Structure 1
Amino acid sequence: MTPPLDLLTELEPTVARLLDRHLAAAPVWFPHAYIPWSHATDFDGPLDGTPWRAEQSGLPQAVADALTINLLTEDNLPSYHFEIATQFGRDGAWGAWVHRWTAEEDRHAQALRGYLHARRCVDPIALEHQRMRHVSTGYTSNHASLLHGLAYVTVQELATREAHRNTGLACTDPVARQLTTRIAADENLHMIFYRDLYTTAMELDPDGAVCALADAICAFDMPGTTIPGFRQRALRIAASGIYNLDVHHRHVLRPLLRALGVLTRPSLGSAGEQARDRIGRHLDELQRRAERSSRLFERWREAAPAAPPAGPGSSVRHDEIRYGEIRYDEIRCDEIRHDEKGGR
């Protein structure tokens, strides 16, 4: 009888190789350099500054929502570190990657919070209350296996990259665009690491890898769904086109599946074939839902072009688009390029 495959051990040489590649490619950057300090003023409190007022924010509501969701998601880093360190371990190449990833992700929260405060984009007191609630809730992945954990982060890093990138594209502030581009470039490198690691996992256990990927895709949720007010903010973000079912389908899942060769992979067993069929059905359903949502958003814009839907008290039924079940299914897997000096 063939002994069960120890994927954690079998994948470690690949982790070591990909970590070396990552360290050679990842640029050094500093959060403080992306914050417009010259525009900042003191807030009320011990420094007796000016209280925050809504009219001080020059951002569209959907962009402010996206930046807030992105920041609060990054704030929960202690829970994410615990989850992956528990599953991957803290020794050897796996541990080195876990710690490096955590250090890089921590810069994102530092930079985003500094930007939001300096530009007075959001209520700082409300933001801190939301951070405390979200981090106090924590995050639990409940991944069934190492393959399930790897499948999830492979999709999630690509979705996160696109969320940051599209937030910047929707913002008229060149400082915010430069910052979100820099963060998206980090997330892209993380995605490439996990994507190529998962490619190796598929060679070692094709059926198991396709089954785990099907589970991750069909039940996917971003880690920030427990953020206070997530549902209403997410609906405004979706209506604006920053991140919605269409983005998830066309710019996350489709490219990722193509890069992994899932839909064309030969010689799968019956379990792998069934999982692949499940992925195909999910993509078809996701596309139909994306088209319905697009038509709904268009009607909303025609009815109230200056005021996207989903504010408190809106008569729109959130479950019409089932946003809580968004699956981030297809993002371009080509390496992101950005035009800042020293970028990749």
Structure 2
Amino acid sequence: MNTIKNKDLEQKIMNLYLRHQKQSESMEWNFYEYMPWDKGQSFSTLPYDKSQNTLPRELITAIETSMLTELNLPWYTTFLNNMFTGSLEPLQNFVRTWVSEEDQHASALETYLILTRNADPKDLTVVKKEILTTGWDSVLSEPLSSMVYTSLQELGTVVFYRNIAKYAEKYDSGLSDLLLRIAKDESSHYAFYNQVVDAHLELNPDLIVHVWPVIKNFKMPGGSLSDFDDRMKIIQKAGYGPDEYVNQVLEVLIKRWKIAKLEPATPEGKEAQINILKYLEKIKRINARLKK
């Protein structure tokens, strides 16, 4: 069962894309404006030392992990470009727009870490090489599944940046402002992807069969890092962990797509609907037990 191809759907998605384009033009920004340039010093005259860190470990880890995830842009771009080839034209156009908007996030986060001496440039080079050489492989093989994935990933990123920005406020208000600004871009991307999924489900509720496998197997793209799980345990202290994913991402999208109210006609669609709702309750129970 492939992504629906009809004029009504294509027009709806084109309208969403044009709205995103217009919004993006009004939201244009340059990361240079958010950098604390006055803090920059030559590493030749003043070599890096960990004692120069001004942020707690969990905040540094959060920023660095976000930077590395954003850095994998070439792999995500290639995947989405290939996935949407021959699909709805607005989706192909959006990928190109998305690339131009995502590009500066990694640059902003890396520049901030180096300028403020909250990371060793040599160590950053090593982990950057690791994630780029490891790449990113996805088992997704259908355009709608990809959009379900990116909806979860983009909303997760929005929540991540907003929560980390709140935590960062007491250490560096400038960093908090930067993270909130990046979150605005991510929020715009999330809005597009989740509305595209919504449009598909409204036209054909049985397309829910493409939603369930993604939810069941979802992992953030930064998972290709060898120490990703360790990083996420550290980052929890800064405001993003399993609870935030379930309550602020997964449950939000399940409600947003009206999963409980859909009326699939096929046995496969009905089974997928039941599985999604059961999975949400199961993972909420597991998280509740882990907190005790």
Instruction: Please give the range of the TM-score, normalised by the shorter of the 2 chains.
Output: over 0.9
The SS at the match of 2:287 is helix
Map 1:140-289 onto structure 2 (within 5 A): 140-171=137-168, 172-208=171-207, 210-238=208-236, 240=237, 242-289=239-286
Map 1:310-321 onto structure 2 (within 5 A): none
Map 1:1-344 onto structure 2 (within 5 A): 7=4, 11-26=9-24, 27-43=27-43, 48-89=44-85, 92-171=89-168, 172-208=171-207, 210-238=208-236, 240=237, 242-295=239-292
The SS at the match of 1:7 is coil
Opposite residue 176 of structure 1, the aligned amino acid is: L
Opposite residue 28 of structure 1, the aligned amino acid is: E
The SS at the match of 2:160 is helix
Q: 1-side partners of 2:28 and 2:254: how far apart?
A: 30
**CA drift at 1:7:** 2.7
Q: What is the CA deviation profile of residues 150-169 of structure 1, one whole-angstrom value per residue up to 9, with x for unaligned ones? A: 11111111011111111111
Is contact 1:74–1:109 with CA below 8 Å preserved after alignment? yes
Opposite residue 97 of structure 2, the aligned amino acid is: R
**CA drift at 1:54:** 1.1
Over 3 Å counting, the alpha-carbon distance change for 1:39 and 1:153 in structure 2 is same
**CA drift at 1:5:** 5.9
Q: What is the CA deviation profile of residues 293-333 of structure 1, one whole-angstrom value per residue up to 9, with x for unaligned ones? A: 333xxxxxxxxxxxxxxxxxxxxxxxxxxxxxxxxxxxxxx
Opposite residue 41 of structure 2, the aligned amino acid is: T
Over 3 Å counting, the alpha-carbon distance change for 1:29 and 1:237 in structure 2 is same
**CA drift at 1:42:** 1.2
Identity %: 29
**CA drift at 1:270:** 2.0
Opposite residue 180 of structure 2, the aligned amino acid is: T
The SS at the match of 2:261 is coil
**CA drift at 1:284:** 1.6
Is contact 2:2–2:142 with CA below 8 Å preserved after alignment? no
Opposite residue 74 of structure 1, the aligned amino acid is: E
Is contact 1:150–1:194 with CA below 8 Å preserved after alignment? yes
Over 3 Å counting, the alpha-carbon distance change for 1:140 and 1:242 in structure 2 is same
Structure 2 unaligned blocks of 5 or more:
none
The TM-score, its normalising length taken from structure 1, stands at: 0.79
Opposite residue 60 of structure 1, the aligned amino acid is: P
The SS at the match of 2:260 is coil
Structure 1 unaligned blocks of 5 or more:
296-344
The TM-score, its normalising length taken from structure 2, stands at: 0.92
The SS at the match of 1:263 is helix
Opposite residue 187 of structure 2, the aligned amino acid is: N
Is contact 2:165–2:176 with CA below 8 Å preserved after alignment? yes
The SS at the match of 2:109 is helix
Q: 2-side partners of 1:211 and 1:33: how far apart?
A: 45
Q: What is the CA deviation profile of residues 121-143 of structure 1, one whole-angstrom value per residue up to 9, with x for unaligned ones? A: 11211111100111111111120
Over 3 Å counting, the alpha-carbon distance change for 1:41 and 1:168 in structure 2 is same
How many residues are matched? 286
Is contact 1:79–1:138 with CA below 8 Å preserved after alignment? yes
**CA drift at 1:211:** 1.6
* Bigger proportion of residues as helix: 2
**CA drift at 1:198:** 0.6
Opposite residue 142 of structure 1, the aligned amino acid is: V
- Deviates most, 21-30 or 5-14: 5-14
**CA drift at 1:218:** 1.0
**CA drift at 1:269:** 3.0
Query: Aligned Cα RMSD in Å?
Result: 1.8
- Deviates most, 105-114 or 240-249: 240-249
Q: 2-side partners of 1:258 and 1:111: how far apart?
A: 33
